[in-house]
Amino acid sequence: MGPIEERIVKKIEQAFAPERLAVINESEHHAGHAHGPTSETGETHFRVRLVSPAFAGMSRVERHRALNTLLAAEIADGVHALALEPAAPGESVRW
């Protein structure tokens, strides 16, 4: 686990207390998309899958906004893409 991935995991755990969390570094599948300082660590593309009670009653857009706001520093530091898959407990997920 690289330093950016560790930051993402820590922030999500603290902010959303997820029941399930998977942060997947997909950067290796996006060769040539290096942007910003995180490209040196190979951490530019992530998939974030989480189930959290904090998302109950929130729309999909609200969930994405909350995660993007939380991870704004990582995006500013060069994370090029975040595939977000947030869910509330009891909702079906494809993973």
86's enclosing H/E stretch is strand 81-87
What are 7-53's pLDDT values in tens digits? 999 999 999 999 999 999 998 765 654 554 545 567 899 999 999 99
Q: Which tens digits make up the pLDDT trace of 42-53?
A: 789 999 999 999
Query: Which residues, at least 6 apart from 88, have a Cβ–Cβ distance to it below 8 Å?
Result: 51, 52, 53, 55, 56, 57, 58
pTM for the predicted model, two decimal places? 0.86
Q: What is the mean pLDDT of the chain?
A: 90
Position 76 confidence tier, pLDDT thresholds 50, 70, 90 = very high
